[in-house]
Amino acid sequence: MATFALENPNTGQTEKTFDRIDDSDRDAILDRATEAYQTWRTTDIATRAEVLRKVADLYDERADELADYIGREMGKLLAWGKAELQIVSGIYRYYAEHAYELLAPEELPAQGAIRSYVEKEPIGVLIGVMPWNFPYYQVARWAAPNLLLGNTLVLKHASICPLSSQACQDLLEEAGLPKGVFQNIYASGSQMDAFIADKRVAGVSLTGSEGAGSAVASTAGEHYKKSLLELGGNDPFLILDDANLDSVLEQFVKIRMYNTGQACNAPKRLIVQRSFYDRTVELLEQKISALTVGTYDDESADVGPLSSIGARDDIVERLEKAAAAGEATVRVGGKALDRDGAYMEPTLLTDVDPSADVGCNEIFGPVAIVYPADSVEEAVSIANKSDYGLSSSVWSTDLDKAHEVARQLKDGMTFVNEHSVTAPGLPFGGVGRSGYGRELGRWGVGEFVNEHLYRVRPQDGGGNSPA
């Protein structure tokens, strides 16, 4: 049986190995999910909501242990891990507290009947393909609304997250979820095609790379399955004036370097007016140079390791190639650190060619890029010259101007004087190469759902003719 390993990016050491499933295990996994669906779909809303409420409490109670798991798996600083877990418990609690509101029938004008209305009903077994960068949060975004609806779930998490992925199942079952409703499986990406194509599966949600998203969408489309994709971004961060420049740049650096720069909705491209571009670069050099790199449990660390040595090396190689080709200037950092583990120097790039690899493709690490613009109109043009469209932000003391500019940006989420904000009641998702579909809030129960129309009229011998 094939195996994969928990390789601690803090040390570069292999801690534990896990057995992957065999292809022959697929039938049993999907049979369990299908059988569980027949019961879970008819379980009353109060019971489903109570499971979500209890699991929220468990995430709070086990925060120290759960944060340690992901620190060892993918290098997340403990403070960041505990912050992620607070968001996770909030998501489960949100769907528990708003269960009846979110699943309430929608009454329509009767339109010739006694009553016309739409019920939200589950559609069946769903596959979730989830990434390593927010191991609990990404799962919660998908799991909470769909468990509330009555769907059953099979989780294929990133292979570097064996502890946290199993914890997602264990905590739900401890909270009272019947076995088979949520199954964590240790599987490879290549095994997912057969799962998605299987007639017992009704849909698939993927958060991850564009390549994985394309493969999943292709298979889902071929077999008439609903899919939801969240694929990353190259998010712009526009500063329109320099009234609070130092403070705004402090926030930019903090947000950009959060999770060691490994967040799909982090601001990747800082765009400022040319009148304060030089001052911006000077301040960024100071702030980024001052960041401390350390292990996940180092309380003094500002930045941790990347998820793996391979991921670190890939970014460093891209930066070296860009600098050698004259496509970017490395002002700060850019190199691997000479120590065990997946560490690199936090980096600042200037003079970046927007059409080069480092300009137009996402850099999933602690790398900031700054561009000058000669006008607000040019800043908007630079921001919109991207095939991605996840999120963006506009920063200014003039709120009316900032809002006006924000409405010109072509993204799924745009913020004024904040960035990378997520909350249980806010929709999350993008457009273009960032994917499609929305998670969280009422939108989370609106993706993998049968919006079932019911009409009631007396048997009077009349009736409408078929359309």
Residue found under tokens 């008819």: 42
Q: How far, in Å, CA of 379 to CA of 49, rounded?
A: 46
pTM (predicted TM-score): 0.96
Q: How many helices (H) and strands (E) does the chain have?
A: 16, 18
Q: How far is CA 419 from CA 198, 252, 374, in A?
A: 39, 9, 23
Q: What is the mean pLDDT of residues 364-374?
A: 98
Q: Answer yes or no: is pLDDT of 466 > 60.
A: no
Give phi and psi for 90, each to the nearest 5.
Answer: -65, -35
**Tens digit of each residue's pLDDT (9 = 90 or more) over 411-465:** 999 999 999 999 999 999 999 999 999 999 999 999 999 999 999 999 875 556 5
Q: Answer yes or no: is pLDDT of 214 > 60.
A: yes
**Tens digit of each residue's pLDDT (9 = 90 or more) over 384-405:** 999 999 999 999 999 999 999 9
What percentage of the chain has pLDDT greater than the value 70? 98
How many Å separate Cα 174 from the centre of its chain? Answer: 25
Q: How confident is the model at residue 4 (pLDDT cuts 50, 70, 90)?
A: confident
Rg (C-alpha) for the chain, rounded Å, is 24
Q: Answer yes or no: is pLDDT of 341 > 80.
A: yes
Q: What is the mean pLDDT of residues 296-322?
A: 98
Question: Helices 78-97 and 45-61 sit at what angle, rounded to 10 degrees?
Answer: 160
Instruction: Report whether 334 contacts 345 (CB < 8 A).
Output: yes
Question: What's the pLDDT score for residue 269?
Answer: 98
- Tell me the fold of 235-416: Aldehyde Dehydrogenase; Chain A, domain 2 (3.40.309)
Domain ranges of the chain: 3-231+437-454, 235-416
Question: What's the pLDDT score for residue 461?
Answer: 58
Q: Answer yes or no: is pLDDT of 2 > 90.
A: no
Scored b (16 or more CB within 10 A) or e, 142-180 reads bbbbbbbbbbbbbbbbbbbbbbbbbbbbebbbebebeeb
**Is 230 one of the annotated active-site residues of the chain?**
yes
Q: What is the mean pLDDT of residues 222-239?
A: 96
**Tens digit of each residue's pLDDT (9 = 90 or more) over 86-144:** 999 999 999 999 999 999 999 999 999 999 999 999 999 999 999 999 999 999 999 99
Question: What's the pLDDT score for residue 463?
Answer: 57
pLDDT, averaged across the chain = 96
Q: What is the DSSP letter of 334?
A: -
Q: What is the mean pLDDT of residues 60-64?
A: 98
Q: 7, 73, 230, 439: which one is catalytic?
A: 230
CATH number for the region 3-231+437-454 comes to 3.40.605.10
